[in-house]
């Protein structure tokens, strides 16, 4: 054998063997992360058997491939190029550092997702940056995360150490080479081959119809929506959502049919609450699960409530016991509740389209001569609420700065609910009626702590959120006790809802649809609207309901409906579930990927266990048509800046 040929072959075999081994290690440790992700969220992801888990893990390899090849693309290219220094120890050391840093950063996102998923119930995407982007205490939050979830960090470093040890088990032999033409030619051919295969792997397949796979493709081989979350991995989701514009026009129906189907412009003539003050209470993490008044018909064995005050208030209120949020994050709630603007893949307030005229209950109240205020006990600007409140046209914003007493700061998010609610009461009592105020509470949030004087006062419950729900419920009690002494109280309409759900204890609320189950309740001290409705309702309905109740008689742009109107309006509920949309209407819940329906379930099937999509019926097709009309109109209005009646007619 020619010596040059021998040197080349031995040189390249050593390098290629090391390269393939190192990429294999990434697959191995991504698989370990998938196991851990499942174990941390086993109560949220329903896997029937070990065999089913293995099948889902096998499907996940396609998404692991995309992430691994993306993350390691530069490392692979430098390993493959025919350079004279490929096998030099310093070059190999540099490659090792590149491999270690890039994979460590990507791998760490999987571990962050163990906990993030528990609260968001969707995989980690770039939308997380919208949530934390406006927070001033990012370092404090990181330290708190490390303290509370030290075991996740420990697992990361333990697995990282084993990865490092295994990486060094296979080394590249230091062999000199003559850098011959044959060496360069054959190396380039192999590089082209491996790069070509890698591109196919990154795209997720080959063929004319194949586009780069994205998050929704996780549903192609699963029938349970939560299984798609197990198939995915955090690096893939972050890569696929980076700098993506999720607002794109769609063309499902002729434009002239949209208005007749969904009636996005509405006009009400109610008004039996003319001149009333309004206080909208958006309670952090107050899922329906925790409130007995909203669980009378759920038949949950040994049910326990953590909201004695709200349960008593509900007896004198109009309760909507089948209501849902339009999002899973706090940043989604403000536009949905106040302006009937849902957020899907990313928050509307973080999108390029947020800076436009938006019709809302705030703009309607301003036109009727109301004083309008927004209260949030966090540092001013948190969650982007200050900026969006200005877009909506609030006259006043009251945050931690205006409260101006750091002795009541919880050390993490903002002012404790009880003193901040009292601050709102004192502030409103100085105003002239009529006024409209919105308060977004803070305390009932991870890390689930209460003021020292209340330690041990409220039931600990079964999960950490339970005792802070008890604290915030008591903060509401204290607020109402103070407010009812004020002259404005009896002339005020109170609206209560939640931004989103939080941890679930009962299995009924771990089911996909019920992960968005929130309270919607209207309380008038004069008792003019009392009862309970199990009709489908959503956060988007609050704006048109208030417009109707207050007697605003001008047309409004809204996809919601008035919950007290006698008009023929179609109840529905919509939200984005990590990778797909859930749209409940009539007898059905549709699972929609943005282009087509991929599942239809009986509306009672909140676990989405029995797909009846093949059993087409005329009303199913009619409801699907309504759903597509909604999405088409939503995208067109957001993109073309037609979120108010005045802008719609221009």
**pLDDT tens, position by position, 197-209:** 888 888 887 653 4
Span 527-541, pLDDT tens digits: 999 999 999 999 999
234 shares a domain with 117: yes
Q: Is residue 104 assigned to a domain?
A: yes
Of 504, 529, 559, the one marking the end of a domain is 559
pLDDT for the residue 131: 65
Top mean pLDDT of 232-246, 564-578, 617-631 is at 617-631
Q: Same structural domain for residues 440 and 487?
A: yes
Confidence of residue 7 (pLDDT cuts 50, 70, 90): very low
Q: How confident is the model at residue 6 (pLDDT cuts 50, 70, 90)?
A: very low
DSSP calls for 225-270: HHHHHHH--HHHHHHHHTT--------SS-HHHHHHHH--EE----
The answer to whether residue 631 sits within a structural domain is no
Could you tell me what percent of the chain has a pLDDT over 70? 94
Cα(324)–Cα(606) distance, integer angstroms: 12
Exposure string of 619-630, with b = 16+ CB inside 10 Å and e = fewer, is: ebeebbebbbbb
- Predicted local confidence at residue 292, as pLDDT: 97
Amino acid 218: pLDDT: 85
Query: Are residue 212 and residue 314 in the same domain, yes or no?
Result: no
Check whether residue 234 and residue 315 sit in a common domain: no
Q: What is the mean pLDDT of residues 535-554?
A: 95
CATH number at residue 288: 3.40.720.10
What pLDDT sits at residue 137? 73
Spatial contact of 545 and 530, defined as CB atoms under 8 Å apart: no
CB atoms near residue 508 (< 10 Å) = 17
Average pLDDT over every residue of 285-304: 95
Indicate if 216 and 292 belong to the same structural domain. no
Give the pLDDT of residue 183: 72
- Containing structural domain, residue 227: 3-179+190-241
Q: Are residues 94 and 129 in the same domain?
A: yes
pLDDT digits (tens, 9 = 90+) for 268-290: 976 556 789 999 999 999 999 99
Range list of H helices, 133-208: 138-148, 150-167, 181-203
Any domain includes 610: no
pLDDT value, residue 19:
93
pLDDT band at 446 (very low <50, low <70, confident <90, very high): confident
Same domain, 74 and 198: yes
Report the pLDDT value the prediction gives residue 125, as an integer from 0 to 100.
Answer: 85
For residue 138, what pLDDT band results from cuts at 50, 70 and 90? Answer: confident
- How far, rounded to the nearest angstrom, does the alpha carbon of residue 591 sit from its chain's CA centroid? 17
215-260 pLDDT per residue, tens: 878 877 887 878 989 999 999 999 988 877 788 889 999 988 999 9
Q: pLDDT (tens digit, 9 = 90+) per residue, 308-367?
A: 999 999 999 999 999 999 999 999 999 999 999 999 988 888 888 888 999 999 999 999
455-503 pLDDT, tens digit per residue, is 999 999 999 999 999 999 999 999 999 999 999 999 999 999 999 999 9
- Per-residue pLDDT reduced to its tens digit, 369-407: 999 999 999 999 888 898 899 999 999 999 999 999 999
231 and 322 in a single domain? The answer is no
How does strand 492-498 pair with strand 277-283? parallel
User: Which pLDDT belongs to residue 271?
Assistant: 59
Write down the pLDDT at residue 175: 60
Average pLDDT of the segment spanning 620-642? 95
> Burial level of 603, CB count in 10 A (0-12/13-18/19+)?
middle
- Over residues 417-423, the mean pLDDT reads 98
pTM of the model: 0.85
Q: What is the pLDDT of residues 15-59, one digit of tens each?
A: 889 999 999 999 999 999 999 999 999 988 989 899 999 999 999
- DSSP secondary-structure letter at 432? P
Q: What is the pLDDT of residues 163-194, one digit of tens each?
A: 999 999 998 877 655 566 777 777 788 888 88
Query: Which pLDDT band holds residue 518 (cuts at 50, 70, 90)?
Result: very high
Q: Which two tokens stand for residue 56?
A: 């889902």
Residues 147 and 213 in one domain: yes
3-class secondary-structure state, position 25? helix
- CA 220 to chain CA centroid, Å, is 22
Q: Indicate the number of domains in the chain.
A: 2
Measured distance CA(521)–CA(542) in Å, rounded? 10
Q: Which of 540, 559, 578 is the last residue of a domain?
A: 559
What totals of helices (H) and strands (E) does the chain contain, helices first?
Answer: 21, 16
Specify the length of the chain in residues.
650
- 463 exposed, middle or buried (CB, 10 Å; 0-12, 13-18, 19+)? middle
pLDDT of residue 403: 97
Would 433 be classed as within a structural domain? yes
424 touches 398 (CB < 8 A): yes
Query: Are 294 and 145 members of one domain?
Result: no
Whether residue 618 lies inside any domain: the answer is no
Burial of residue 278 (CB within 10 Å: 0-12, 13-18, 19+) is buried
pLDDT at 211 over 80: no
Helix, strand or coil, per DSSP, at residue 429: coil
Name the pLDDT band for 102 (thresholds 50, 70, 90). Answer: very high
Q: Is residue 637 part of a domain?
A: no
Segment 123-137 mean pLDDT: 74
207 and 97, same structural domain? yes
Distance CA 131, CA 551 (A): 35
Kindly state the average pLDDT of the residues 130-157.
82
Q: Is the pLDDT of residue 10 over 60?
A: no
Give the model's pLDDT for residue 5: 43
Which whole-number Å values give the CA distances from 350 to 22, 345, 501, 536, in the listed order?
38, 11, 21, 28
State which of 200, 224, 241 marks the end of a domain: 241
Residues 232-267 as b/e (b if ≥16 CB within 10 A, e otherwise) read bbbbbbbbbbeeeeebeeeebeeeeebeebbbbebe
Identify whether 445 is part of a domain: yes
Res 2 pLDDT > 80: no
Based on the domain organization, do 120 and 236 belong to the same domain?
Answer: yes
Instruction: Report pLDDT for 146.
Output: 86
- The answer to the question of residue 619 being in a domain is no
In this prediction, residue 270 carries a pLDDT of 64
């Amino acid at each position: 054998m020619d010596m040059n040929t021998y040197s080349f072959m031995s040189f390249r075999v050593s390098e290629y063997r090391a390269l393939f081994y190192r990429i294999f290690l990434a697959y191995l440790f991504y698989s370990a992360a998938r196991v851990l992700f499942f174990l941390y969220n086993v109560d949220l992801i329903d896997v029937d058997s070990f065999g089913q888990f293995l099948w889902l893990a096998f499907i996940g390899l396609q998404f692991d491939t995309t992430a691994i090849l993306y993350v390691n693309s530069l490392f692979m290219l430098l390993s493959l190029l025919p350079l004279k220094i490929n096998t030099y120890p310093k070059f190999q050391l540099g490659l090792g550092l590149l491999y270690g840093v890039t994979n460590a950063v990507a791998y760490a996102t999987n571990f962050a997702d163990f906990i993030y998923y528990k609260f968001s119930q969707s995989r980690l995407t770039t939308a997380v940056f919208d949530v934390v982007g406006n927070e001033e205490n990012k370092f404090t939050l990181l330290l708190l995360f490390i303290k509370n979830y030290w075991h996740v960090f420990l697992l990361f470093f333990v697995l990282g150490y084993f990865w490092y040890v295994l990486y060094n088990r296979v080394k590249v032999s230091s062999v000199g080479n003559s850098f011959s033409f044959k060496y360069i030619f054959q190396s380039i051919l192999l590089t082209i081959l491996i790069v070509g295969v890698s591109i196919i792997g990154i795209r997720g397949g080959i063929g004319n119809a194949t586009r780069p796979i994205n998050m929704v493709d996780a549903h192609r081989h699963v029938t349970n929506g939560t299984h798609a979350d197990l198939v995915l991995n955090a690096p893939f989701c972050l890569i696929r959502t980076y700098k993506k514009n999720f607002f794109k026009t769609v063309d499902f129906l002729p434009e002239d049919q949209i208005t007749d189907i969904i009636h996005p412009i509405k006009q009400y003539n109610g008004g039996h609450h003319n001149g009333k003050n309004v206080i909208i209470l958006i309670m952090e993490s107050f899922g329906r699960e925790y409130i007995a008044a909203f669980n009378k018909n759920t038949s949950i064995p040994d049910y326990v409530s953590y909201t004695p005050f709200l349960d008593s208030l509900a007896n004198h209120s109009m309760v909507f016991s089948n209501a849902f949020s339009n999002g899973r994050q706090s940043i989604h709630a403000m536009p949905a509740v106040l302006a009937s603007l849902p957020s899907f893949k990313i928050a509307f307030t973080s999108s390029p389209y947020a800076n436009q005229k938006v019709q809302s209950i705030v703009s309607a109240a301003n036109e009727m001569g109301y004083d309008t205020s927004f209260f949030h006990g966090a540092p001013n600007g948190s969650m982007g609420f200050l900026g969006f409140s200005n877009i909506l046209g609030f006259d006043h914003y009251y945050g931690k700065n205006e409260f101006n007493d750091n002795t009541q700061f919880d050390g993490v998010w903002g002012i404790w609910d009880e003193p901040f609610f009292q601050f709102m009461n004192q502030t409103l009592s100085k105003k002239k009626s009529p006024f409209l105020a919105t308060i977004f509470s803070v305390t009932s949030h991870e890390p689930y702590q209460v003021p020292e004087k209340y330690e041990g006062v409220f039931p600990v419950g079964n999960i950490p959120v339970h005792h802070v729900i008890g604290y915030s419920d008591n903060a509401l009690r204290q607020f109402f006790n103070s407010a009812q002494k004020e002259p404005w109280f009896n002339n005020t309409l109170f609206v209560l809802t939640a931004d989103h759900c939080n941890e679930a204890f009962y299995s009924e609320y771990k089911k996909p649809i019920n992960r968005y189950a929130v309270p919607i309740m209207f309380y008038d001290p004069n008792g003019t609207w009392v009862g309970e409705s199990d009709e489908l309702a959503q956060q988007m309905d609050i704006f048109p309901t208030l417009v109707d109740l207050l007697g605003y008689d001008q047309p409004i742009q809204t996809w919601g409906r008035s919950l007290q109107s006698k008009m023929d309006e179609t109840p529905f509920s919509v939200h984005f579930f990590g990778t797909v949309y859930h749209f409940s209407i009539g007898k059905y819940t549709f699972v929609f990927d943005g282009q087509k329906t991929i599942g239809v379930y009986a509306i009672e099937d909140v676990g989405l266990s029995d797909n009846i999509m093949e059993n087409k019926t005329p009303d199913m097709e009619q409801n699907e048509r309504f759903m597509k009309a909604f999405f088409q109109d939503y995208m067109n209005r957001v993109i073309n800046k037609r979120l108010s009646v005045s802008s719609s007619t221009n």
